[in-house]
Each structure stands twice: as structure tokens, then as C-alpha cells.
Amino acid sequence: MSLTRGQAAHHIGMVVELGGRILILHALEHMGVVRSSMLDLRSMFWAITGYWRYVR
């Protein structure tokens, strides 16, 4: 199952609302995103949360 960018951002945004960075890391892991350095992960996190706020 592969998600589009919008679906991924939506999914991750819901995970964030449910509670915190531990959960978002697990969600990213499930989606196969966590394979990169923490710097990439951090910038991706801010990009996604920024996108999530924008689409709401």
C-alpha cells in the first residue's frame, strides 16, 4: 500500500494530533520513510506539519 503525498501528510497529521513524536516516528517507520538521517527526518517533519496546517 503506497500513499500519495497528500494522504501521507493527512495520516501523519492525524498521528501528530493523537499525541507526539514517538507516534509520528512509528508511523513514519510503518510507511518506510525512516531510512534517512535525523536531519532529513526533522526537515521532513516540519515540511509535513507545515503542509498539514496549510491544508486545514
pTM of the shown model: 0.26
Quickly tell me which residue has 498521528 as its cell: 15
For residue 36, what pLDDT is reported?
A: 52
State the residue range of the domain holding 17: 5-55
Number of domains the chain is built from: 1
For 29-53, give one letter per residue: b (16+ CB within 10 A) or e.
eeeebbeeeeeebeeebeebeebbe
C-alpha 17/C-alpha 1 separation (Å) is 23
**6-55 pLDDT, tens digit each:** 777 777 776 666 666 666 677 777 776 655 555 566 777 777 777 767 76
